[in-house]
Structure 1
Amino acid sequence: MTPTSVQDLLSHAWFGLIGLMLVLYVVTDGFDLGVGALTLLRRRESDRDLMIQSIGHVWDANETWLVALGGALFGAFPSAYAMILSDLYVPVMVLIASFIMRGAAIEFRHAAHTSKAVWDRVFGIGSLLAAISQGIVLGKILTGFVPGLSSLGFIVATVIGVVSGYCLLGATWLVKKTVGGIEHWARRCATLATFTTVAAALVVSLATLELSPVGVTRWQEHGIFHLLIALGVLAALATLYVLYAIRMRGEHGPFVGSTLLFVISFAGLAISMFPYIVPGQLTVSDAASDSTTLTFMLFGIGIVLPIMIGYNLYQYHLFRGKVVPVKH
C-alpha cells in the first residue's frame, strides 16, 4: 500500500469516526437539550422538577461527546478546525455560554428557595440557545460559509429543524421516562414536533439542491442521489413508526423511532458532504493531518471510545425506568 493510499485510508477513517461521535452527541445531548427547551412550556414547578429529574443523571455525561468531537477535529483535521471555528466564532461562543447557563442553573436550582423558577428559566433558555447555535453551525457549514440573504433563509430553516428535532427527542424521552400528565403532554408535543421536524427537513433538502455546494456537486454524482432517496424512504418509515408508537401508547418505541430518524438523517448528511469536510471549500484529504498523527490518534481513540460508550451504556442501564417525583 502506497503512502498516499495509507494517508487517504486514515483520513477517511477519521471522517467516519468524527461522524460517529457527532451522531452520538446529537442523539444523547439532543434529547436533554430538548427536555430543557420544553421546560419553558410548563408553568408548574413540580412538572419542571420531574422533567429535569428525568435527565439529571445523564445530561453532563452526554456533553463529553462534544468535547471528544472538538479534540478529534482539532487533531485529525486542523485546517477544517481553523476554518470552522474562525467563521463560527459567535455561534460557538453562544453555545459555550449556553452550556455554562445550563450547568449553573441545574445545580443552583437545587439550593434555591424563592428563585427556583428563575433558575428553571435559565436552564430552559440555555437549552434553547444551545439548539439554536447548533442549527446555525449546521446551516453555515452546509452553505459553505457563503454569505447572502438566501443563505440566511437556509440557516433559519436548519435552526428550526434542529430545535424541532431536539424537542422531538426530548418529548419522546419524557414519554419513556415519565407517567401521568407529563407523559400525556409529551406525547402531544412529540406528535407536533414530528411534523415540524419533517417539514423543516424537506425544506432544507430542497434548498440544498439550489443553495448548497452539496446539492450542486455531490448529489449529482452517479449513484449518490439514488442512495439518498433510499435513506429518505427509511427516514419516512422511521417517521411513521414514531407516529404509530405514539398513537399505540408505546413507551420506548417513540424514542427508538426518533433516534433512528436522526441516525438515518446523519448518514445522509455524511454521504452528502464526503469527500468534503467543508462543502465546496475543503476536502477531507486536504484538511487531514499527516499519517503519523492520524495513526497515533487512532490508537488513542481505540482506547477511549470503548470506555466512553461502555460508560454511557452502563449509565443509561443503571438509571433505566420511570422517574418518580422527589419527596421534599
Structure 2
Amino acid sequence: MNPSSTQNLLSHAWFGLIGLMLVLYVVTDGFDLGVGVLTLFRRRANDRDLMIQSIGHVWDANETWLVVLGGALFGAFPSAYAMILSDLYVPVMMLIASLIMRGAAIEFRHAAHTSKAAWDRVFGIGSLLAAVAQGIILGRIITGFIPGSASFGLIAVTAIGVVSGYCLLGATWLIKKTTGRIASAARGYSVITLFTTVIAAIAVSLGTLKVSPIGITRWQDHGVLHVLIALAILAALASVYVLYSVFMRGEHGPFAGSTILFVVSFAGLAISLFPYLVPGQLTVASAASDSSTLTFMLFGIGMLFPVMIGYNLYQYYLFRGKVVPVKH
C-alpha cells in the first residue's frame, strides 16, 4: 500500500472514530443534561432530588467522552482543532463554564441546607447553558462559519433543537428510571419534546439546504441524497416508536427509540459533512496529522476504548433498575 493510500485510510478511520466518540458523548451526556434542564420545571424539592438521583452515579463518567473527543481532535486533526476552537471561543468557554456550574451544583447541593433550592437552579441553568452552547457550536460548524442573518437563524434553530433533543433523552431516561409522579410527568415531557425536536430537525434540514455549504455541495453528490432519505425514514420510524412506547406505558422503549433517533441523525450529519470537517473550508485529508501520528494514536485509542466502553456498560449494569428516594 502506497503512503498516500495509508494516509487516506488512517484519516478516514479517525473521522469515523471521532464521529463515534461524538455519538457516545451526545447520547450519554445528553440525557443527563436533559434531566438537568427538566429540573427547572419541577417546583417540589423531592421531585428534583429524585431526578438528580437518577443520574447521580453516571453523569461524571458520561462527560469523559467529551475530554477524549477533544484530545482525539487535537491529535488527529490539529488544523481543524485550531480553526474550530478559535472561531468558537465564546461558545466553548460557555460550555466549559456551564459544565463547571453543573459539577459544583450537584456536589454542593448535598451539603447545603437552606440554599439547596438555589443549587438546584444552578444545576438546571448550567445544564441548559451547556446544551445551548453545544447547539451553537453545531450550528456554526454546519454553516461553515459563514456570517449573516440567515446563518444566525440556522444557528438559533440548532440551539433550540439540541436543547429539545436533550430534554427528550432526559425525559425518556426518567421514564426508564423513576416511578409515580415523575414518571408520569416525564411521559408528557417526552411527547412535547419529541414534537419540538422533530420540527427543529426539519427546520435545520431546510435551512442547511439553503444556507450551508453542506446542502449546496455535498447533498448533490451521487447517492448521498438517497442515503439521507433512507436515514430520514429510519428517524421517522424511531419517532413513531417513541410515541407508541410512551402511550403504551413502556419503560425502556421510549429511551431506546430516542437513542436510535439521535444515532441516525448523527449518521446523517457525518455523511453530510464528509469529506469536510468544516464545510467548504477544511477537508479530512488537509486537516489530518501525518501517518505515524495517526497510527500511534490508533494504538492508544485501541487500548483506551475497551476500558471506557466497558466501564460505562458496567456502571449502567450496576445501577440498573428504578431509583428509590433517599430518606433523609
Q: TM-score, normalised by structure 2?
A: 1.00
The correspondence of residues 32-181 of structure 1 with structure 2, limited to 5 A, is: 32-181=32-181
Whether 1:257 aligns to 2:239 is no
Deviations 1:95-149 (A, max 9, x none): 0000100000000000000000000000000000000000000000000001110
1:163 is displaced (CA, Å) by: 0.2
Deviations 1:199-257 (A, max 9, x none): 00000001111100000000000100011000000000000000000000000000000
What residue number does 1:287 align with?
A: 287
- CA distance in 1 between counterparts of 2:310 and 2:114 reads 40
Whether 1:235 aligns to 2:235 is yes
- CA distance in 2 between counterparts of 1:146 and 1:88 reads 13
- CA distance in 1 between counterparts of 2:41 and 2:214 reads 36
2:37 aligned partner, one-letter code: A
Deviations 1:45-67 (A, max 9, x none): 00000000000000000000000
What residue number does 1:269 align with?
A: 269
Query: How many matched pairs?
Result: 328
1:267 is displaced (CA, Å) by: 0.3
1:317 is displaced (CA, Å) by: 0.2
In structure 2, the residue corresponding to 1:277 is in which secondary structure? Answer: strand
What residue number does 1:304 align with?
A: 304
1:268 is displaced (CA, Å) by: 0.3
1:19 is displaced (CA, Å) by: 0.1
RMSD: 0.3
1:290 aligned partner, one-letter code: D
- Aligned sequence identity (%): 79
- CA distance in 1 between counterparts of 2:192 and 2:102 reads 25
2:250 aligned partner, one-letter code: G
1:200 aligned partner, one-letter code: A
1:318 is displaced (CA, Å) by: 0.1
2:47 aligned partner, one-letter code: D
What residue number does 1:8 align with?
A: 8
2:90 aligned partner, one-letter code: V
Q: Which segments of structure 1 move beyond 6 Å, counting only runs of 4 or more?
A: none
1:122 aligned partner, one-letter code: V
1:320 is displaced (CA, Å) by: 0.2
What residue number does 2:212 align with?
A: 212
- CA distance in 2 between counterparts of 1:270 and 1:4 reads 23
Q: TM-score, normalised by structure 1?
A: 1.00
The correspondence of residues 194-209 of structure 1 with structure 2, limited to 5 A, is: 194-209=194-209
Segments of structure 2 that go 5 or more residues without pairing to the other structure are none
What residue number does 1:224 align with?
A: 224
1:115 aligned partner, one-letter code: S
What residue number does 2:31 align with?
A: 31
1:197 aligned partner, one-letter code: T
1:261 is displaced (CA, Å) by: 0.1
2:273 aligned partner, one-letter code: M
1:183 is displaced (CA, Å) by: 0.2
Deviations 1:57-85 (A, max 9, x none): 00000000000000000000000000000
- CA distance in 1 between counterparts of 2:24 and 2:154 reads 25
What residue number does 1:314 align with?
A: 314
1:274 is displaced (CA, Å) by: 0.2
- CA distance in 2 between counterparts of 1:16 and 1:172 reads 28
In structure 2, the residue corresponding to 1:43 is in which secondary structure? Answer: coil
Segments of structure 1 that go 5 or more residues without pairing to the other structure are none
2:286 aligned partner, one-letter code: D
